[in-house]
Amino acid sequence: MADRIDMDDVLNDDRRAALTGPAMALLIEADHYGVQIRVEDGRPILSGKLPPEAGETHFLQRLGECRRAVTIAADSLALGWKLEWSADGASCRVLAPARPSDYRNEISSGQRGGSGRRPASWVDTEGKPVPAGTTCRSCRGHLWWREAVRPQGWRCRACHPPTGAVPVMEVSTAEADLSAAA
């Protein structure tokens, strides 16, 4: 089975293509379902529990069809690649991380910790998912949201609820959810 992707063979053009194509849309959809896709040893790992609606939309099947691109997109985000939207929201460009090794270290230490505290609102300039186990420093909540398009940063659902003006994605970082699905 050729299911492992050698990340050393992935070109920056592959990353740009993955981040601007259907794979990125699937990652946003995963966020919407409250699950996370990370890459370990060249393989995509899904954590979290998919809601029933994901079955109706054949999410896993569509994920499988884009497996390589999804893996590359998820790996790129973890490495600090960013999508930067134009002011009018009509276009976006892909920014490579300035210092990949720093991002790599930051990500791995974040995953090891697993029980971080975050302020009720922070600017999400890197498009990173909220690590599992993260709780709000103010209310200890673990439900976060941000704009589905042109995200302006993660906010605690309880401390800073969305206004309803734009579509949002929500993610739960409750550890119980994640371990139940593992």
Identified binder of Zn ion from the candidate list 158, 162, 170, 175, rule CB under 5 A: 158
Task: Name the residue nearer to Zn ion (CB basis): 67 or 137.
Answer: 137
Tokens 């409250």, located at residue: 34
Residues in contact with Zn ion, counted by CB under 5 A, come to a total of 8
CB of 113 to Zn ion, least distance (A): 19
Which of 82, 99, 83 has its CA nearest to residue 91?
A: 83
173 binds Zn ion (CB under 5 A): no
143 binds Zn ion (CB under 5 A): no
Radius of gyration of the chain (CA): 16
Phi first, then psi: give them for residue 174, nearest 5 degrees: -65, 125
156 binds Zn ion (CB under 5 A): yes
Task: List, in sequence order, every residue forming a beta bridge with 154; answer none if it has no partner.
Answer: 122
Q: Are 138 and 159 in contact (CB under 8 A)?
A: yes
- Helix (H), strand (E) at residue 136: strand 135-136
Residue 122 three-state SS: strand
159 binds Zn ion (CB under 5 A): yes
Residues 119-138 that bind Zn ion (CB under 5 A): 120, 136, 138
Mask for 37-76, x = binds Zn ion (CB under 5 A): ----------------------------------------
142 binds Zn ion (CB under 5 A): no
141 binds Zn ion (CB under 5 A): yes
Identified binder of Zn ion from the candidate list 139, 149, 180, 181, rule CB under 5 A: 139
State the Cα–Cα distance between residues 169 and 153, nearest whole angstrom.
11
10 binds Zn ion (CB under 5 A): no
CB of 33 to Zn ion, least distance (A): 22
* Cβ count near 94 (within 10 Å): 17
Contacts of 2 (CB under 8 A, 6+ apart): none
116 binds Zn ion (CB under 5 A): no
Using CB under 5 A, list all residues that contact Zn ion: 120, 136, 138-139, 141, 156, 158-159
